[in-house]
Amino acid sequence: MKQVPLPEVLDGLPAEPDPYAVTLVSGVCRHLEQIDALVSGAARGWELDRMPAVDRAVLRLAVYELLEEPAVPTAVVLDEAVALAAQYSTEDSGRFVNGVLATVAAAVRLP
């Protein structure tokens, strides 16, 4: 969002970020095209750039986890993403994020 390279953003933080947070953000940056394609395909009737920014960010992080962090259970990914969206975004965001992630999870993870 800042149009600044990730290493520069991380170097400018006032405190050392959590290593897993760095893994997530770096992973989203590396896989952004694939992640956005999955979100766009699952978010019927919604264009990525029209989604609330918080929803878009939460979805990107969660889809990265679904794709690249198999040790994190699917239910945990969905529950945490829904909780974040419900707390920090719109009234309908929790349901929206849940629906999109359930569709993505069904496509990229084994049942």
CATH (domain of 90): 1.10.940.10
Domain region containing 48: 6-108
In sequence order, what DSSP letters do the residues of 23-86 get, joined into one string?
A: HHHHHHHHTHHHHHHHHHHHSTT--GGGS-HHHHHHHHHHHHHHHH-TTS-HHHHHHHHHHHHH
Does 1 map to a domain?
Answer: no
> What is the C-alpha separation between 60 and 25, in angstroms, rounded?
9
What is the per-residue pLDDT for 48? 93
What is the per-residue pLDDT for 1? 57
Does 104 map to a domain?
Answer: yes
**Under a CB-based contact definition with an 8 Å cutoff, are residues 67 and 108 in contact?**
yes
What is the per-residue pLDDT for 2? 62
**Under a CB-based contact definition with an 8 Å cutoff, are residues 93 and 36 in contact?**
no
Going residue by residue through the chain (111 aa), what tens digit of pLDDT does each one get?
567 888 888 888 999 999 999 999 999 999 999 999 999 999 988 999 999 999 999 999 999 999 999 999 999 999 999 999 999 999 999 999 999 999 999 999 987
The amino acid that residue 58 corresponds to is: V
What is the per-residue pLDDT for 110? 81
Does 26 map to a domain?
Answer: yes
What is the per-residue pLDDT for 73? 97
Total domains in the fold of the chain: 1
What is the per-residue pLDDT for 87? 97
Residues in the chain: 111
